[in-house]
């Protein structure tokens, strides 16, 4: 009781003399014990970060992420993020973005009742969540303003990157094709597979007799996404199609008679209508991609340096 009373007097005296004692971690440690905020984690510009603060931020992050399985590494990263946010200059940027972000988060729920119930379950009040969002956005905007000049990318940098990585920038072979599809995925009952196989043979006969591919696709194809376009799949590369489908398409010439094949999804009447051979991409083709890559790397470097500078303002971090 005596120690608690002494601590309160000490804290009060510290406030009265202009936070003179606020520089000392022990004052905040005692305050954390008295006010049940747990262990002092860090002291940033005479502001204490406690275990209770970390737990509250973790609950907020869990709520926003929609999951509770944060591992130890994520928890440590969250602690460091909280310390860094305390080190950010305050009131440097005015923002109204938090309201929009909160509204977008609210829209993920069916109604206000479900939203409030989820907040209650997470132990987070709407007021606290709004304040946290505002602080986070304000901090991010301040960071972006600080590093804006460092993440600009020049034409010379784009040119240099392109010359050093030119072999990586290639347009793969792209094929345009149309198909009539009958679904019979792997694991289908034998009688289903057999019926679909007979049906694709019937389609082959009808096409052989001169029926229009577009009309027949609209009539019998089970690919709902393409049947309204006469079975047209547009241009595609190998990474967009089942391997057996793309390999069959590669063997066909444009507007040759359809080929009939079975993939792991079912049966196809496949006809190629156009081919764009593989080709190297030009600098103009890839400038947006290269610019984004360089800017992202510059941003990582600039943010790391800024965080290091901010960390110097942290006088004490618990081990």
Distance of CA 141 to the CA centre of its chain: 19
Here the tokens at position 237 are: 């590369």
CB proximity list for 20: less than 8 A, separation 6 or greater: 14
Looking at the fold, whether 54 and 146 belong to one and the same domain comes out as: no
Residue 275, beta-bridge partner list: 175
Residue 157 lies in a domain: no
Which pairs from 235-241 meet CB under 8 Å and 24+ separation?
Answer: 235/174, 235/175, 235/176, 235/274, 235/276, 236/174, 236/175, 236/176, 236/177, 237/172, 237/173, 237/174, 237/175, 238/172, 238/173, 239/172
Residue 17 lies in a domain: yes
Question: In the chain, which residue ranges form alpha helices assigned H by DSSP?
Answer: 2-16, 25-34, 51-65, 72-87, 97-106, 112-122, 126-147, 155-164, 190-208, 213-220, 224-227, 243-250, 283-311
pLDDT of residue 21: 46
Here the tokens at position 149 are: 């000049």
Domain total of the chain: 3
47-50 β-sheet, strand order? 47-50, 40-44, 314-317
d(CA 173, CA 249): 11
pLDDT of residue 305: 77
> Of 80, 114, 137, which one is at a domain's C-terminal end?
80
Looking at the fold, whether 74 and 95 belong to one and the same domain comes out as: no
pLDDT in tens, 278-310: 999 999 999 999 999 999 899 888 877 776 666
Residue 302 lies in a domain: no
CB proximity list for 314: less than 8 A, separation 6 or greater: 42, 43, 44, 83, 87
CB proximity list for 106: less than 8 A, separation 6 or greater: 112, 115
CB proximity list for 130: less than 8 A, separation 6 or greater: 98, 99, 102
pLDDT of residue 115: 74
d(CA 106, CA 75): 25
pLDDT of residue 139: 60
Distance of CA 30 to the CA centre of its chain: 41
Q: Which parts of the chain sit beneath pLDDT 70?
A: 1-37, 41-47, 80-81, 84-102, 104-105, 108, 122, 124, 126-142, 307-319
Round the average pLDDT of the chain to a whole number and report it: 78
Residue 289 lies in a domain: no
pLDDT of residue 12: 45
pLDDT of residue 4: 43
The residue segments making up the domain with residue 143 are 88-150
Residue 305 lies in a domain: no
pLDDT in tens, 80-110: 667 766 666 544 444 555 566 667 667 767 7
Residue 312 lies in a domain: no
């Amino acid at each position: 009781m005596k120690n608690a009373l002494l601590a309160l007097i000490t804290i009060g005296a510290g406030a009265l003399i202009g936070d003179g004692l606020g520089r000392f971690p022990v004052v905040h440690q005692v305050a954390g014990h008295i006010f049940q905020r747990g262990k002092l984690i860090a002291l940033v510009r005479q502001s204490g970060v406690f275990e209770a603060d970390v737990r509250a931020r973790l609950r907020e992050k869990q709520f926003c992420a929609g999951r509770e399985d944060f591992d130890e590494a994520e928890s440590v990263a969250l602690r460091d993020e909280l310390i860094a946010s305390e080190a950010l200059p305050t009131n440097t940027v005015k923002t109204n973005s938090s309201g929009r972000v909160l509204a977008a988060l609210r829209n993920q729920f069916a109604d206000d009742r479900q939203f409030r119930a989820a907040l209650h379950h997470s132990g987070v009040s709407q007021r606290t969540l709004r304040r946290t969002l505002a602080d986070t956005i304000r901090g991010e905007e301040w960071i972006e303003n600080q590093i804006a000049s460092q993440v600009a990318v020049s034409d010379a940098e784009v040119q240099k990157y392109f010359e050093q990585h030119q072999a990586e920038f290639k347009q793969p072979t792209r094929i345009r094709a149309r198909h009539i599809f009958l679904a019979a995925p792997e694991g289908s009952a034998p009688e289903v597979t057999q019926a679909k196989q007979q049906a694709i043979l019937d389609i082959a006969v009808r096409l052989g007799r001169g029926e229009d591919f577009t009309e027949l696709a609209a009539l019998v194809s089970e690919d709902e996404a393409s049947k309204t376009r006469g079975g047209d799949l547009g241009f595609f590369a190998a990474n967009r199609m089942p391997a057996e489908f793309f390999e069959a398409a590669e063997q066909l010439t444009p507007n040759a008679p359809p080929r009939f094949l079975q993939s792991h999804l079912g049966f196809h009447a496949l006809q190629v209508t156009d081919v764009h051979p593989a080709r190297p991409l030009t600098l103009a083709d890839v400038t947006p991609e290269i610019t984004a890559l360089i800017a992202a790397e510059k941003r990582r470097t600039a943010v790391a340096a800024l965080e290091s500078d901010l960390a110097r303002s942290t006088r004490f971090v618990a081990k």
